[in-house]
Amino acid sequence: MSSLPGPRFLNTVLLGGSTTEKLDAAAAAGFAQVELWREDVASSSVAEVHAILARTGLQLTDVQVLLDFDGASAATREGKRAEAMSLLALAKDLGAGTVLVPACTATVYVPDRVTDDLRWLCARAAERGLRIAYEGMAWSRLHSTLPSAWQQIEQVGAPNLDIVIDAFHLFAAGRTADDLRDVPVERIALVQLSDVLTQPLPGQVTTQARHHRCLPGDGLWPLETLIDALAAMGYSGPIGLEVFNDALKARDPRDVAREAMAALEAVLAD
């Protein structure tokens, strides 16, 4: 049995098909939760998603994603705040507790505004009983590593701002599980696992991230080092899969979801 007892989730980006087909496949495979994209709701409706969740018993790990919000330029800042309010409202309507927000990747951004922007976002989220899960991505402008993203969270100082641990962004950047050392376990919002067949080369990271990840255990990354570090910390929160893979997405979502659960349980049991 895995030493990580938290609920297993599946990011719907792995699956093809309609929103109903994706959620039914995830539930049938044994996942307790899903990470839901707003596009999943746009192609369905809040009422339909509510009905599917009630029927299947699935919970929402988070709703995503608010891109390039922190440090938005003067030309985009008001638009990004409006987008944020819309996504927070959607999360509230869906009954989700968390909204996922990656660190800014925009070419034009204002570093001095990042902290203020995140404080504003966390305040708006708190008014709605929501948490913000902040993710440093390998190609983020300011915060491309876990230590950097955690330092930003500390600077913001909002109790509802937590960190995302994503294996892809950790290992693609050539980092190790030692990056978790200074992160309090209670401030980890969720853990996303994936793998790769080949180490991403400079200039190819985003393409590999968005099209060619593979299921945990099918690739070359030392996921066991991350899992062992989380277990040593006593992590008991959500852990699951965020796998962007064009070939898997083109297949029957029921088969892919079953394979995904088998891969997740296998890597957690090793």
pTM greater than the 0.75 cutoff: yes
Q: How does pLDDT run across 10-30, given as a tens digit for each residue?
A: 999 999 999 999 999 999 999
Residue 125 lies in a domain: yes
Q: Report if residue 50 sits inside a domain.
A: yes
CA distances (Å), origin 167, targets 105, 123, 196, 253: 18, 29, 10, 23
Please, are residues 102 and 139 in contact by the beta-carbon 8 Å criterion? no
Q: Is the pLDDT of residue 124 over 80?
A: yes
- Residue 243: closest CA among 40, 51, 66, 10: 10
- 97 lies in a domain? yes
Residue 13 is assigned to a structural domain of this protein: yes
The model's pLDDT over 13-72, given as tens digits with 9 standing for 90+, comes to: 999 999 999 999 999 999 999 999 999 999 889 999 999 999 999 999 999 999 999 999
Of 135, 84, 74, the C-alpha closest to 110 is 74
Has residue 235 been placed in a domain? yes
Q: Give yes or no for a contact between 177 and 228, defined as CB atoms under 8 angstroms apart.
A: yes
Structural domains of the chain, count: 1
- Flag whether 131 is in a domain: yes
- For 29, the domain range is 8-269
Question: What does the pLDDT read at residue 1?
Answer: 41
| Whether pLDDT at 154 is above 60 | yes
Q: What is the CATH number of the domain that holds 19?
A: 3.20.20.150
Question: What is the spatial distance between Cα 137 and Cα 145, in angstroms, rounded to a whole number?
Answer: 7
Start-to-end Cα distance in the chain = 9
- Does any domain span residue 1? no
Question: 3-state class of 59 per DSSP?
Answer: strand
The CA distance from 16 to 162, in Å, is 30
User: Distance between CA 119 and CA 155 in Å, rounded?
Assistant: 10
Which helix (DSSP H) or strand (DSSP E) does residue 64 occupy? Answer: strand 59-64
> What count of other Cβ atoms lies within 10 Å of the Cβ of residue 112?
8
The 10s digit of each residue's pLDDT in 204-238 is 999 999 999 999 999 999 999 999 999 999 999 99
In a domain, 193, yes or no: yes
* Predicted local confidence at residue 22, as pLDDT: 98
